[in-house]
Chains A and B, each alone.
Chain A
């Protein structure tokens, strides 16, 4: 079913109402913006990177609670991690952080932050989880 009480678990609402790492950096090494025009979710991620390790993350954006909570959770997860570790993050990792089941429309909300991050760091512009299909034969 996926009613509001399942979808909007306390931690999602907490991240939505009290977003972590929201803001901008003075001199980011990597900046990337992406949007999900179908729902109007927008996201901008800024990273400061030193020796292949993410020192600081800030993000701004607006959209639904899922997209914004996902950005907040992801920013916490990647701070201090290497770019290689970021590359390994999968769609399932993101869904695990959110801890919910999502239908196809709202899956894009959940994955926008990870998509933006990967595009900024690696230039991978496909939706997480769809890279193989699109890059394949």
Chain B
């Protein structure tokens, strides 16, 4: 039945042809003038036919609620939903599908940890260690928890080049009060690929539980939770060619088993009496109410698609394009690149263009059909640390092509002429 239940497709010969890939995305086939130059994949990726078809197939052929119906299409829907979970578990090299909990997105996954693990395990006087590079989604849940539990927040500093400074790490972990470390794998603004394994080993040695915000890494490079050595990992479907509304939390089984539920409701219980209930087993303990079934099915199709390309090949493509873009952007007068050298970044490039406000830059680019992000990209502390109010960000995925970089550069020259 479900095409995504097939054994994981072997990677095709590499590298793939991004132009051929692009043709499998309906948004790029649609005719428009000027043509769409999509350089905002770090915000959300575009979706290939395979994903849309899988979701449509679910709604058209076997739409039913999961885990309940004693009839054929309900069983089919349940199988498809659980297949997607198993697929994601394999994709992340998790020990078991039971360790993969579906959420709406990374933000919800991080909040789940903060509410469930955090409230059960943190006491006044404990500390949480974050970094100055985090997306707001990996700051705010911890701020709420810290205020509620009188927990101290500490931060691994970021250098002016946009890399984590690990030199103070022994001191930050030294007093044994840090119970949880949460760190972003790849920066959504600067594309910095952080040395997560190194942080994980230092943090675990200090007795802390480690969370990795993998929102920008899982969609773009091979991520192996066992190789990383972390305890929890959050990722989101819509940045990895899948639909919005589906994300996941991976966690070590023994930690998840010991955690109280996050949301209460149907499906997360084994037995309900009027005044008390027994919780369901993993992973359903954390999946209250009807989940995003079509979206899970779509995510499964996205994983299959990415496996077809090969995650190594996707990352190589991102970086090749980043190298080309860095070279071309250096041609633009007054353009100031933010972030680390190419060796330590993925397919994300943020910059400033002279004194021209990023919103003005983005508006001129829009008239060229070029879609970029302008603002603080949900990372205000990062921008403050770099001493900039806002930036323009271009980001790539497997369907991005060098001609899009050329259109960006042309648009930037135009912006200079308008505001110069």
Q: Which A positions have Cβ atoms within 8 angstroms of B? A: 2-5, 7-8, 13, 16, 37-41, 63-66, 105-106, 109
Bound CA–CA A7/B418 (angstroms): 12
Bound CA–CA A93/B338 (angstroms): 39
Would you list the 8 A-B pairs with minimal beta carbon distance, nearest first?
A: A40-B389, A3-B367, A64-B357, A64-B359, A4-B367, A4-B364, A40-B390, A65-B360
Bound CA–CA A105/B360 (angstroms): 12
Cβ of B312 under 8 Å from chain A: no
**Residues on the B chain within 8 Å of A4, using CB:** 363-364, 366-367, 414, 418
Cβ of B419 under 8 Å from chain A: yes
Once the chains bind, are B357 and A65 in contact (CB under 8 Å)?
Answer: yes
Cβ of B202 under 8 Å from chain A: no
List the B residue with the shortest CB-CB distance to A5: B367
Contact of B376 among A2, A40, A66 (CB under 8 A): A40
Some 25 contacts from A to B, beta carbons below 8 A apart, are A3-B366, A4-B363, A4-B364, A5-B367, A7-B363, A8-B360, A13-B418, A13-B419, A16-B419, A37-B380, A38-B375, A38-B376, A39-B357, A39-B358, A39-B359, A39-B389, A39-B390, A41-B357, A64-B359, A64-B360, A65-B360, A65-B419, A66-B359, A105-B359, A106-B363
Once the chains bind, are B359 and A109 in contact (CB under 8 Å)?
Answer: yes
Per-residue interface assignment for chain B, residues 303 to 323, with 1 indicating a CB less than 8 Å from any chain A CB and 0 otherwise: 000000000000000000000
Listed residue (A5, A16, A65) with the most chain B CB atoms within 10 angstroms of its CB: A65
Q: Tell me the smallest distance from the CB of B26 to a CB of chain A, in Å.
A: 22
Once the chains bind, are B418 and A63 in contact (CB under 8 Å)?
Answer: no
Q: Which B positions have Cβ atoms within 8 angstroms of A? A: 357-360, 363-364, 366-367, 375-376, 380, 389-390, 414, 418-419
Q: Tell me the smallest distance from the CB of B57 to a CB of chain A, in Å.
A: 35
Listed residue (A3, A40, A41) with the most chain B CB atoms within 10 angstroms of its CB: A40
Bound CA–CA A73/B419 (angstroms): 18
Listed residue (B359, B390, B414, B419) with the most chain A CB atoms within 10 angstroms of its CB: B359
Bound CA–CA A41/B363 (angstroms): 16
Q: Tell me the smallest distance from the CB of B296 to a CB of chain A, in Å.
A: 31
Q: Tell me the smallest distance from the CB of A34 to a CB of chain B, in Å.
A: 15
Bound CA–CA A86/B389 (angstroms): 31
**Residues on the A chain within 8 Å of B419, using CB:** 13, 16, 65
Q: A8-B363, A13-B419, A106-B359 are in contact. List 6 more A-B contacts (CB 8 A).
A: A2-B363, A4-B366, A8-B360, A13-B418, A63-B357, A64-B359
**Residues on the A chain within 8 Å of B358, using CB:** 39, 64
Bound CA–CA A11/B328 (angstroms): 33
Bound CA–CA A67/B375 (angstroms): 15
**Residues on the A chain within 8 Å of B360, using CB:** 8, 64-66
**Residues on the B chain within 8 Å of A109, using CB:** 359
**Residues on the A chain within 8 Å of B375, using CB:** 38-39
**Residues on the B chain within 8 Å of A37, using CB:** 380
Q: Tell me the smallest distance from the CB of B266 to a CB of chain A, in Å.
A: 36
**Residues on the A chain within 8 Å of B390, using CB:** 39-40
Bound CA–CA A131/B376 (angstroms): 27
Q: Tell me the smallest distance from the CB of B351 to a CB of chain A, in Å.
A: 15
**Residues on the A chain within 8 Å of B357, using CB:** 39-41, 63-65
List the A residue with the shortest CB-CB distance to B359: A64
Bound CA–CA A126/B186 (angstroms): 37
Bound CA–CA A40/B359 (angstroms): 10
Bound CA–CA A42/B389 (angstroms): 10
**Residues on the A chain within 8 Å of B418, using CB:** 4, 8, 13
**Residues on the A chain within 8 Å of B376, using CB:** 38, 40
List the A residue with the shortest CB-CB distance to B380: A37
**Residues on the A chain within 8 Å of B359, using CB:** 39, 64, 66, 105-106, 109
Q: Tell me the smallest distance from the CB of A131 to a CB of chain B, in Å.
A: 25
Bound CA–CA A66/B282 (angstroms): 52
**Residues on the A chain within 8 Å of B380, using CB:** 37
Listed residue (B357, B367, B376) with the most chain A CB atoms within 10 angstroms of its CB: B357
Bound CA–CA A38/B380 (angstroms): 9
**Residues on the B chain within 8 Å of A7, using CB:** 363
Q: Tell me the smallest distance from the CB of A99 to a CB of chain B, in Å.
A: 16
Q: Tell me the smallest distance from the CB of A41 to a CB of chain B, in Å.
A: 8
List the A residue with the shortest CB-CB distance to B389: A40
**Residues on the B chain within 8 Å of A3, using CB:** 366-367
